[in-house]
Structure 1
Amino acid sequence: MSQRPEEIQHRLRSLDEIGDVVGALRAIASSHASSAETAMQAIAAYAGTVTHALAISIAAAAPHVEPEGPGLLLVVGAAQGFCGGYPEHIEKMAQSTLQPGMGLVVVGARTADMLNAAGLSVLWSDDLPGHPAAIPALASRTTDVLVEQSAHFPGPIRALTGTPHGGHAAVVSRLFPPEPTEGVTSQVPPLMTLPAADLLTGLLQEALFARVAHVMMQGAETEARARVEAMARAQNNLRTRRTEVEQAYQQARQEQMTTEMIELSASRQ
């Protein structure tokens, strides 16, 4: 038996309400993605300046020594859902990247929950802010955690995060120490107004902070763009579903009218 036209009209109204929500989520995600992309340019410029100064200081102070040990892995994942298969992709990459003895730090509540559910031990986690403007403060807290935990998990500090383009593929990069080939390698001592040890310590911390902020902003942009794409697919599916429900409404209305005409014709005999 076909549904009553009134019931189908209720479904149409529900689909329109869902469409409004999906459209709002897509618009918000698009705005966040654009803000994060703009912020990454400023962070990259700051990181470049710090890296250049750090390379000069290290070259003048001591030769590069590669740290031993598995170190730490910072996973910048998803904060929420509604972004397609991106959270699952980050989770699988994190599990395949994590090495025995490596400490795990996670940013992104959804990814942290997924990794905990998979039985992995997370040293520390926090959620990825909804707006990129709040990321620098989180990057500062995360940097402090990484510095503290590095004493218990010696070795390099790496980060796993998604890329905004190219299917949002996850990539692993080294946060600390800087690559020995980065920056300049001049042996000319720089002009300093601070003790060399204090300057080097400060630059190392600033370099780590800049890299952490950059991968977090990159992760925020990736999640936002993944949500934009997921909401675009949802809108297409909603349009298809609405067309189907509209057709069902027309059919139900015609059947109702036909039934009413038959009943009216029969009552006059």
Structure 2
Amino acid sequence: MSNELGVVQARLGTVGELASVVTAMRGIAAARTRDALERLPGIRACADQISAAIADAMTLALPLPSELPTPARTSDTQILIVIGTEQGFVGAYNHRVMQAARRPSADAVEYFIVGDRAQLVAEEFDYRASWSAEMAAHVDAVPELAGRIVGALYGRLQDGGVSRVALVHGAPQPVEGASIATTSLLPFDFGRFEAVHRRLPPIVALPVRELLERLAEEYVYTQICEAIVLSFAAESEARMRTMMAARRNIDETALQLTMEYRRLRQEQITAEIVELSGVDTRTETLGA
């Protein structure tokens, strides 16, 4: 009896320690989600400034927006930049991202996979990554990671044979689980920007076509930064939800162990009382 009681007591201690760890992980995930979401307005403000610059530059362009420079369509190969997670404890989040990245077998697809755990899940889906990188460990590392992705992407585009480029990434949702978004990067759609008509045209130091190409690259960079930040927030949110579910299971386990401990303790006390009562009875009998 005492051995069983000791085992249950030890398990209660372990469960209590685990609850502390889970609570700490949930708090860290919540803080990272909040930190990531606070960076979004700055990134979007930067994108708005680039959009305004593109709109201004389009007033100087001789060709129509639909004729502005975009990567030449030389094949049906598509590059998918898939942003997953670096660490675990995110439930089925990576599987959902990879499911969204699935394409018909007839399409030639090259995968750029971001995130160590995402790469492991990509192997389950039989996605062969032509390029991979670690996911940003914190939001301050987002610009550096985005720069690496842009460098790898444009290096691949110079080799030719690519017709489309898209991003697949998560986005946090306050009520339900993270949503999975697919964002087209290239061919670059200049038609989304409405040309601004000014009384005096802007003064530029570059050929208009080159200026538009550079601005398009900067806009793609901001899109990738935004996707990474959203993915970072979605990952942290998924981890927070996983920790909340784990804490509920831990509380249920702790309650069951507490009830078991009380039952065993009561049985032990009862057995001790019965034993002591038997001793008193024998003593009285011997005294008589």
Q: TM-score, normalised by structure 2?
A: 0.85
1:167 matched to which residue of 2? 177
Q: Distance in 1 between matches of 2:180 and 2:125?
A: 19
Q: Deviations over 1:22-53 (max 9, x none)?
A: 11111111111111101111101101111221
1:132 matched to which residue of 2? 139
2:275 matched to which residue of 1? 263
* Alpha-carbon offset, residue 96 of structure 1: 4.2
Q: Distance in 1 between matches of 2:106 and 2:238?
A: 28
Q: Distance in 2 between matches of 1:58 and 1:105?
A: 31
* Alpha-carbon offset, residue 197 of structure 1: 4.2
Letter aligned with residue 170 of structure 1: I
1:19 matched to which residue of 2? 19
Please identify, of 229-238 and 214-223, the stretch whose mean Cα deviation from structure 2 is larger.
229-238
How do 1:109-124 and structure 2 match up within 5 A?
Answer: 109-124=116-131
Letter aligned with residue 211 of structure 2: L
Q: Distance in 2 between matches of 1:135 and 1:244?
A: 44
Change (3 A) 1:15 1:97: farther
Structure 2: give runs of 5+ residues left out of the alignment: 283-288
Structure 1: give runs of 5+ residues left out of the alignment: none
Contact 1:72 1:150 in 2 (8 A): no
State the SS of the aligned residue for 2:191: coil
Letter aligned with residue 24 of structure 1: A
Q: Distance in 1 between matches of 2:223 and 2:33?
A: 19
Contact 1:73 1:98 in 2 (8 A): no
Q: Distance in 2 between matches of 1:59 and 1:177?
A: 21
Aligned residue pairs, count: 269
Change (3 A) 1:112 1:263: same
Q: Distance in 2 between matches of 1:150 and 1:3?
A: 68
Q: Deviations over 1:42-97 (max 9, x none)?
A: 10110111122124334533332465334311111122211222122112112247
* Alpha-carbon offset, residue 240 of structure 1: 1.5
Q: Deviations over 1:124-183 (max 9, x none)?
A: 111212211111110111111111112344222210111211421211111234334322
Q: Equivalent of 2:225, from 199, 202, 213? A: 213
Contact 2:93 2:235 in 1 (8 A): yes
2:165 matched to which residue of 1? 157
* Alpha-carbon offset, residue 198 of structure 1: 3.8
Q: Distance in 1 between matches of 2:136 and 2:249?
A: 29
Q: Distance in 2 between matches of 1:221 and 1:98?
A: 31
1:182 matched to which residue of 2? 192
Q: Structure 1 residue runs of 4+, over 6 Å off?
A: none
Q: Deviations over 1:207-250 (max 9, x none)?
A: 11111111011111111111111111111221121111101100
Contact 2:78 2:107 in 1 (8 A): no
Q: Distance in 2 between matches of 1:34 and 1:175?
A: 27
Larger radius of gyration: 2
| RMSD of Structure 2 on Structure 1 (CA) | 2.3
Q: Distance in 2 between matches of 1:155 and 1:2?
A: 72
Matched, 1:227 2:239: yes
